Chain A
Amino acid sequence: GAVVSQHPSWVICKSGTSVKIECRSLDFQATTMFWYRQFPKQSLMLMATSNEGSKATYEQGVEKDKFLINHASLTLSTLTVTSAHPEDSSFYICSARDPGLETAQYFGPGTRLTVL
């Protein structure tokens, strides 16, 4: 199946700093990528849909100025958590839509963010 990578796999930072998470599709070009957040023992929550070459579409309740998304190429999307706070500590997962199978999403391994 398609491979999606994420970097870093885990990060610990101080409150007030910014953290960038990268999502790459390794063997296909993804015009659309998705960013999810998952708190412990809860289901995935879609944060935003990232489209190559255009602005991301954010879900209701997600602050676009806090969670900056850039999808500059067909294989890379980045999520930057600006001025992170302890409540932003979560498991962030990206997925990429395989253009060959319109509805399939392949997930990256996730990034665990801990804000002290």
Chain B
Amino acid sequence: GQNIDQPTEMTATEGAIVQINCTYQTSGFNGLFWYQQHAGEAPTFLSYNVLDGLEEKGRFSSFLSRSKGYSYLLLKELQMKDSASYLCALVDSNYQLIWGAGTKLIIKP
């Protein structure tokens, strides 16, 4: 079967750095997505990793280790607008997305 785990909620301070972890178990793997979702809105695409390593995109970076079943999303120079839920989604062998429950990130001044 497949399983995705990510923390339910995290709190960080404006201007700081936060790392949101995602661990997974799956029999088939075709990549991992990170999405951002503000309350009442649809998710927006942040990153896609299919190979091991770090992908950097501005203030956001995403890391993947396939052997460890582990990914993280790193957010730097946090801004208040970064307060949102961050969803980790696994692409299975049938190219379907398996969603994590999401991590609610709260940014404090």
Contact = CB atoms under 8 A, between A and B. Distances in A.
A110 B101 contact: no
B58 to A, nearest CB: 14
Contact of A107 (B30, B43, B100): B43
Contacts of B43: 44, 93, 107
Contacts of B102: 43
Contacts of B30: 103
A110 B95 contact: no
B95 A109 contact: no
User: Looking at A46, A103, A104, A110, which has the most chain B CB atoms within 10 Å of its CB?
Assistant: A103
A59 to B, nearest CB: 10
Contacts, number: 45
Interface in A60-116: 91, 93, 97, 102-110, 112
User: Looking at A49, A93, A105, A112, which has the most chain B CB atoms within 10 Å of its CB?
Assistant: A105
Contact of A109 (B42, B45, B50): B42
Given A43-B101, A46-B97, A103 B44 contact: no
Given A43-B100, A43-B101, A107 B95 contact: no
Interface string A16-46: 0000000000000000001000000011101
Interface string B15-36: 0000000000000001101010
Contacts of A105: 33, 45, 97
A104 B45 contact: yes
A59 B84 CA distance: 27
A91 B43 CA distance: 12
A1 B45 contact: yes
Contacts of B97: 34, 46, 105
